[in-house]
Amino acid sequence: YKYLYTLTLYVLCAKCKIGKFMNNIDKETWNQFRRHCLSQQQLNPESTIPETIRKLLFLEKEGIDLNNFTQEEIYNYFAIRLENGATYGALNHSAKALNRWNKFMGNDFKFQRYKEDKKPMKVPNTQEIHKMLDQCKGKNRIDKRNRTIILLLAKTGMRNKELCNLKLTDIDWQRREITIRNSKHNKTRIIPIDDRMLFGRTYPSLRNYIKHWRMKTSNHYVFTTKKGRMAPNYLRRIIKIISQKAGINWIHPHSFRHYAATNLLRAGVNIRVVQDILGHSSIRTTGNYLHVIENDLHQAISNPHIEDPLKTRSYKIQKCLAKPFLM
């Protein structure tokens, strides 16, 4: 992780066109911050820490002295960014990075998050998943791998990074389950897998892929490239290319997670079970998917096959008027 951190920092500094390291922070202080993020804040070294670095570098480029800033100074800076068209979401990311830095520096103030207008969740339907799969019908290793990836994401709701970190030893063929390690919240969880996804002969199953099509450039990881383990950014590019070919430009790896969650809830799986499968730390996050299937619930309650407890009695149904009733 130390090598990864150093490499990330060099790249980010180069992109921001500033010095080798932060202008006002020496290398040793920055290394201490990295270690603090890993040990005290338990941040992910592959995604969260590099993203925090990027935000802090951007803030320093904007003129914020990370060794000496006040709340008032930051809020004034946020106000200027809002006037220039920045979103509350973008400012929340900056505030989160500053809060992590404050925790490291021992500052006793914390920046509050802005309330964001939530965008409607876009969930692919089964036909759109089929269109994606149709783009991977080739008989080569790449298409076979990509087809298996899409199906596994759609069936399990795994996160992008979780799929890339999946190891051969994480698949329990006898118990029909996959163990997810080093997840977003550093917890281990179990995801059950159906026989077709595991063993299907004419299906893009894990057994078929691993036995016949997997590139053996890594002894540990399930999904590989010519250079070894598949990286999360590489997977994002793959899904983007496939979705563009299918004419569904908005689909990304996390879209399959939405698809899996709504599918489970539509099938009547208990929301607590769905929470465990997806690895949500809060059931409120899982509850967001209930809004997506709200139309399904309205259709279900009006289903003529649902038994009426008063069906033995005869009642006349009054047609609803367009105008409201007067009380």
Q: What positions carry a catalytic annotation?
A: 159, 184, 254, 257, 280, 289
**Beta carbons within 8 Å of 82's beta carbon, 6+ residues apart:** 88, 91
Q: Rounded CA gap, 193 and 177, in Å? A: 5
Q: Does residue 91 contact residue 78 with C-beta atoms inside 8 Å?
A: yes
225, 222, 250: which is closest to 235 by C-alpha?
225
Q: What is the DSSP string of 103-152?
A: HHHT----PPPPPP-PPPPP---HHHHHHHHHTT--SSHHHHHHHHHHHH
Q: How many helices (H) and strands (E) does the chain have?
A: 15, 5
For residue 291, what is the DSSP state? H
Cα dihedral sign, 106-111-112-113: negative
Q: Does residue 191 contact residue 180 with C-beta atoms inside 8 Å?
A: yes
Q: Does residue 73 contact residue 65 with C-beta atoms inside 8 Å?
A: no
Q: Does residue 24 contact residue 101 with C-beta atoms inside 8 Å?
A: no
Q: Does residue 66 contact residue 56 with C-beta atoms inside 8 Å?
A: yes
Q: Does residue 85 contact residue 76 with C-beta atoms inside 8 Å?
A: no
Q: Rounded CA gap, 38 and 279, in Å? A: 21
Q: Does residue 170 contact residue 181 with C-beta atoms inside 8 Å?
A: yes
Q: Rounded CA gap, 153 and 155, in Å? A: 6
Helices 253-266/283-292 angle, 10° precision:
80
